[in-house]
Amino acid sequence: MHVHFLDPHRAGDSVIHRLDSRVKLALTLMFIVTVSLTPFGAWAAYILLLAIVLSVELLSELGIGYVVKRSVLATPFLLAALPLIFTVPGEVLVTAPFLSWNLTITAPGVERFLSIAVKSWISVQMAIVLAATTSFPELLWALRALHVPKLLVAVLGLMWRYIFVLADEALRLMRARSARSGASPQLGGKTGGSIAWRARVTGGMTGNLFVRGFDRGDRIYAAMRARGYDGEARAFAAPPLQIGHWMMLGGGLLVCLLILFIANLVAR
C-alpha cells in the first residue's frame, strides 16, 4: 500500500492501533483538556502526565524516539509564550539592558514559560500518537460518531485531502523545473541567476501552483457532485460501544480528575 509522505498514520497491530477510534479520540481529548487545566508549576502532575504519555507510546509500538522527534516540531510555537518571562511580575532573577529597555526576567515568568513548554510538549506527543495509530478516515468517522457538526467534519476532511492535492501539484512543478534546468559541468558549480531572479522564478511557480491547485480542486468537486456528494461522506452506522470501552472511558476520566486534584494540591 502506498503511503504519502505527508500522512502521519503508521499501520500496526498494537493495542492502541486496535482500539476503537471513538475511544481513542475521546481519551485523547480528555487528556489534552486535563493537561491544559493543570496549574502552572505543578511539576508532580506533569511527571504523572508524562508517564502516561510514555506508557501509551510503548503500548502503541511506535517507539518513544519516533514520537519525541516529531514533537520537536511544536517548538517554534513556544515563541508566543516567551514574553511571559519578562512580563509576569514577581521575584527578579536577572536584569539586562536591551537597546533602550531594561529586560527583567522574573522567577514566576520563567516558571510559567517552562510550564507552558512542558504542557505543550506532553499534549503534542499524545496528539501524535493518536494521528499515527488512527487513519484520517477513522478520525472523521469518530468525530461524526461523537456528534461533531457534519459541516465542521466536512471542512476538516476536504482540507486534509486538498493538502495532498497541493503537495502533488508542487512536486509536479518541481519535476518540470528540474527537467528544464541545466546543470553546471563543474563540481559544486551553481546554476541560475541572482537572488532576485530566483525569487521571481519562485513567485511564478507559487502563482502557477495556486492556479493549478484551484483548477484541479474545481474538477475534483465537480466529480464529487456527479457522484452524489452532498456535504457529508457516507459511512456505515457506528456499532455500539462495548462494556470494556465504557469502562476504559470511565477509568480515563477518573485518572484525569485524580491528576487535576493532585495538581491543585501541589500548586497551593
Radius of gyration of the chain (CA): 24
pLDDT value at residue 2: 47
- Rounded to whole angstroms, the Cα distance separating 108 from 86 reads 10
Q: Tell me the per-residue pLDDT of 89-108, one tens digit each, with 9 for 90 and over.
A: 877 777 777 666 777 888 88
Q: What is the pLDDT of residue 233?
A: 66
Percentage of the chain lying above the pLDDT 90 cut: 20
Side-chain-facing half-sphere of 118: CA atoms under 13 Å: 21
pLDDT at 70: 85
pLDDT exceeds 90 at position 12: no
Q: What is the mean pLDDT of residues 42-46?
A: 89
| pLDDT score, position 1 | 42
Q: Is the pLDDT of residue 34 over 80?
A: yes
**DSSP letters for 184-235:** -SSTT---S--HHHHHHHHHHHHHHHHHHHHHHHHHHHHHHHHTT--SS---
Amino acid at 26: A
pLDDT value of residue 26: 93
Each residue's pLDDT tens digit, 210-238: 888 778 878 888 888 888 877 666 666 77
- Evaluate whether 46 touches 256 at the Cβ level (below 8 Å): no
Q: Is the pLDDT of residue 152 over 90?
A: no
pLDDT band at 181 (very low <50, low <70, confident <90, very high): low
Helix (H) or strand (E) holding 104: strand 101-106
pLDDT digits (tens, 9 = 90+) for 106-125: 888 888 888 898 999 999 99
Take residue 100 and report the three cell numbers written for it: 533602550
